Amino acid sequence: MKAHAALVVALAFSQLTCKRFSRDEGAPDEGGLPPGAVLVVSAEPALPPLPTPEPPAPAFPGPLAIGPTPLVPLSFAALARAADPGVVTIISRVEEVRPGGRRRVVSEGLGTGFVYDRSGLVLTNNHVIEDGTEISVKLADQRELPATIVGRDKPADVAVVRVDDHALSPLALGNSDAIDVGDWVVAIGNPFGLSHTVSAGILSAKGRTHDDVKGLDPSGYFNFLQTDAAINQGNSGGPLLNLKGEVVGINAAIRANANNIGFAIPINMVKELLPILLREGKVTRSQLGLVVDPVNDSEATRLGRSNHEGAWIKSVMPGSGAERAGLAQDDVILGFDGKRVIDPNRLKWLASLAGVGKTVTMRVQRGTKVFDVKVTLSALQSPQDDDEGASRMPPLMRP
């Protein structure tokens, strides 16, 4: 089984200050429950079920079928015509001020974005606009409008910009949980400056992390959709569409030296960020104060787990909200604030967005006991808070 590096929910904690244990110690001692914990009678947590895919919907013009076997759509032309007006070119210029106040453009980068709100709001990748001193958006009708940055989040590589045009053609945001591996997807973007290029393929995989896409900032938040629809330099920030013409992902990364292996940020992650970015312009992240790992085969057996769901606590940071709540090594986190915790990546994401100072209810398994306990989150301190100190994606990983 593929080895998993420990995911640091608290991020960047010293190994010397965290309480740790030896795997040779055997099964955990259940002991008592943390103060204030509420025992759950059932051993299986009563949390919301995992999302189930939506039934197939008519595409445009619609996949044909003989019996139960769907065939390839006759054409993606109608989808491309409908979506193309909402796809834009992002132009990021770096200017320098010369003696006498003269300004000179030092460099110019091209990326892709898409309109998601008629009021002029455009989504793209943070890495498309982060170095620019002047941002502009070129629409499908070739008008180029100046853009202002509304909000951006480097760890998730998402940015929102605004143009002064309230009559744009927005793309609908879909449900990235509902799309299945093997489903058709369409990418529209500006690879190598070739504007409004359409490519099609299938969804190749889901849940790809920085362990799968080498070279990304390990402190970032990645849960990529993988596709074989052609994505190249300049596609960054463009939409990945399902057959209903809905955006299911933002194209963000490629595997260097590979053929048609591209990665997109799931749109459901983006929808969780949008209210924060529109309200505050950035995301101030929170933390539990834990180091967690997946529940692999050996740990599932040792911990008495019937499946691999959850986040296994390897260590607890002294003085953290997790320690004050009584969480301990070998506990398995099953739920966070009413949401199921499928794996450590999901816990890391939920904890980071919950809010500094917020108290949440967590569902935890300790031995054979399942209980709910309240935990207060603190501010996340990490190199990503400092733009100069945060690591960046290598250029080859940025389409």
Q: Does 61 sit behind a cis peptide bond, omega within 30 degrees of 0 on the bond before it? A: yes
Cβ(313)–Cβ(290) below 8 Å:
yes
Q: Which two tokens stand for residue 205?
A: 């995989």
| 196 a catalytic residue | no
| 127 a catalytic residue | yes
Cβ(341)–Cβ(364) below 8 Å:
no
What residue has token string 């949401």?
A: 339
Three-state SS annotation for the chain: CCCCCCEECCCCCCCCCCECCCHHHCCCCCCCCCCCCEEECCCCCCCCCCCCCCCCCCCCCCCCEECCEECCCCCCHHHHHHHHHHEEEEEEEEEEECCCCCEEEEEEEEEEEEEEECCCEEEECHHHHCCCCEEEEECCCCCEEEEEEEEEECCCCEEEEEECCCCCCCCCECCCCCCCCCCEEEEEECHHHCCCEEEEEEEEEEEECCCCCCCCCCCCCCCEEEECCCCCCCCCCCEEECCCCCEEEEEEEECCCCCCCEEEEEHHHHHHHHHHHHHHCCCCCEECCEEEEECCHHHHHHHCCCCCCCEEEEEECCCCHHHHCCCCCCCEEEEECCEECCCHHHHHHHHHHHCCCCEEEEEEEECCEEEEEEEECEECCCHHHCCCCCCCCCHHHCC
- Which is the catalytic residue, given 92, 136, 153, 157? 157
Cβ(313)–Cβ(344) below 8 Å:
no
- Which is the catalytic residue, given 136, 236, 320, 378? 236
Beta-carbon contacts of 220 under 8 Å, excluding residues fewer than 6 positions away, are 154, 155, 156, 157, 210, 384
- Which is the catalytic residue, given 92, 127, 136, 199? 127
| 157 a catalytic residue | yes
Catalytic residues: 127, 157, 236
